A and B are shown apart, each in its own frame.
With several copies, the nearest count.
Chain A
């Protein structure tokens, strides 16, 4: 039975305008045509077709430049009220391939901190906009705080160890740090966004072109999922960073977390929506107990329902975060701590719900759940990879401590 998976899962549509629906429909159709309807072919020549499709989406259609102001050649989606739109686009893209979504999410998140009104950072935009608004594919990698090593004392961002350091140098800073693990794309990035600390331990974000002198990459890392988003540890050896390319404040780091939670939430939900389509197709066609469709057996139906519920919840939460961010007249901007807290708290939950949905749905698919042929397992590996890279170390603990700080004024550093 034909149905529209996006319309099936309710969300506050009043937050999304007609323009968005138009764009979303276009991406949806593109995804069906270019990837979803030809999955086996796509799977067989994955790395090649991934690049080709990425180019098609980002350059031919032009989504790579979408977030930048028009004066930089972007599409001007750099106001906070465009947030639901960005989320919708990422979701549609990730329905086809969470790897494509992940790459765009990293690009949008890092760009948003610099390009979103009212706090457009001209110098950073001057650095990254020409690359991202040009006619070449560019890849963004982000290095977040989160992991320290025994016997080393690090500056902390809300408890999270920061491994990269900047020290003042002539006309800017010198960036150093060894073997730091990005959340993705390290092996192929053109731009690094590096959360770093100055000698006083204050955190900030350095924007660094990947071809800067003093940057070296470790071996390519084999990963659970996001196969095309090749990662590698990065070392910075006295890399020169102009002072204008460093955004030195806590709020910016919090904002980066916020965008990551939102955008990667959209990616995981997008992957889940395609998983839902796969599962629904399975449930529509599989006979069990020698009679009756799987979807008509009450026990299987209750598992199917659990899958839909988790996805529905994750989707609602994505749009609620985007509402917190986008409704500046209600919530102000990122300086309001509630936005960071809500993005972290619900962002974590979105990943949990997404993974739960796939985990449970796989139960019903038996070996089709883990056979590559059915693609369910790809979504499962991709979403898990996103979930685990988002948390730094210590699973949900860093986020829980953020929540406790907010709600109970816990003193935890």
Chain B
């Protein structure tokens, strides 16, 4: 009897920590997410069922402190050669239950990746913010990127170079004064504890030195969050508007300073791809489980679906596609975890970003496709929420669209491989 554990993993590159950690996560997902996830769609505004699981994952299992240095109560995961593998493993295992829960838990750490992954480390800021993330209270990070006018401009750093950013940071004595309007980030919609805010110290500038990334606690005066938006899926991830009106934070809340902020921000693009492929592959593995069950109990032509050669052909293609996605997802892991190896590149390198974007795009396209096809295999049960395939279909479409979407991926690949100069 095959199971999801038969999909490929490059076992020569897997951390010894991974096996036990996967086990714990698998249990949490099976016991605490699977039985309730059908209620999540209606829970999008209140997070009555969702919030406790996020708490369990982030505080209970300790995800929220993972990146912080051990001396400040964390696990120093940023130093580890297996950091990306572990992050991926969380994304995948939790994503199997609910991509949005996985997203919400992991993205909570997204902003702090900018200063906790070597070589771009800011120990002072780590010390300052550690109490929020390493305590027993849930601390939700939110990387507040997109702006109303810009669409994916802000992810398109190589071309646009930040010149369309309208959120500003002005130095006033020993504070930064932030003004601007962000929307749509994961973990906004009222639940964020702290924001990472990409902004500019000189509006309209193309100089990377004018790009700033500043941490802004949500309870700072002048910071307002809207209620969450209604979406096609991903109920466990709240999204809304955030307004910064003369929000003042200490100068030390800027993560690094001119130049390095932009690099660190580019590194987040990689981290976003890594998470995305984890959510997608996790969900796909659940789709496989569901299909296995369905195809082994329903018939066409008085044969089990899986024993009809033509339907089996589709099932085989789906399983094969999932295995291919798994292999490729681990390539994204490798790109990141090799960052300190002689042959590796920093996560903000052109190569790492272009290649991980490529794989993310591939996996998401395939994932939407596979989920859609799986719905069709289920026929009149495919659109039935009780079978959960349609949930993954809705969720993964959103994973496909975020982070600048498909066209930006295409452009970045073209730029990388064909040395395009004007795109």
Contact = CB atoms under 8 A, between A and B. Distances in A.
A and B touch in their complex, CB below 8 angstroms: yes
A394 B300 contact: yes
Contact of B302 (A161, A221, A392): A161
Interface string B304-340: 1100111111100000000000000000000000000
Contact of B311 (A181, A362, A389, A397): A397
A401 B397 CA distance: 26
A380 B390 CA distance: 12
A288 B308 contact: no
Interface string B141-174: 0000010011111001001100110000000000
Interface stretch (B16-24, B102-110, B111-119, B405-413): B405-413
Interface of A: 146-150, 152-154, 156, 159-161, 181-183, 221-226, 286-290, 297-303, 355, 359, 362-367, 369-373, 377, 380-381, 384-385, 387-389, 391-398, 400-401, 412-413
A397 B310 contact: yes
Given A380-B232, A393-B298, 16 more contacts: A148-B300, A154-B302, A161-B300, A161-B301, A223-B390, A224-B393, A290-B160, A299-B312, A299-B313, A301-B310, A369-B397, A371-B229, A388-B380, A389-B382, A395-B376, A400-B310
Contact of A147 (B380, B390, B398, B404): B380
Interface stretch (B55-63, B190-198, B367-375): B367-375
B416 to A, nearest CB: 16
B206 to A, nearest CB: 10
Contacts of A300: 309, 407
Instruction: Among B163, B300, B309, B397, find the residue whose CB has the most chain A CB atoms closer than 10 A.
Output: B300
A355 B153 contact: no
A393 B305 contact: yes
A148 to B, nearest CB: 3
B229 A373 contact: yes
B70 to A, nearest CB: 38
Contacts of A146: 300, 379-380
B239 A367 contact: yes
Contact of A181 (B163, B313, B381): B381
A396 B232 contact: no
B309 A156 contact: no
B302 A384 contact: no
B205 interface: no
B301 A156 contact: yes
B379 A389 contact: yes
B383 A355 contact: no
B160 A289 contact: yes
A221 B384 contact: yes
B394 A371 contact: no
B231 interface: yes
Given A363-B406, A388-B383, A391-B376, A372 B159 contact: no
Instruction: Among B160, B230, B380, find the residue whose CB has the most chain A CB atoms closer than 10 A.
Output: B380
Given A290-B160, A299-B411, A392 B379 contact: yes
Given A287-B149, A370-B397, A384 B309 contact: no
Contacts of B153: 288-290
B13 interface: no
Interface string B230-244: 111110000100000
Contacts of B368: 359
Contacts of B229: 371-373
B297 A150 contact: yes
Contacts of A363: 400-401, 405-407
B151 A154 contact: no
Given A286-B151, A299-B310, A147 B298 contact: yes
A131 B31 CA distance: 49
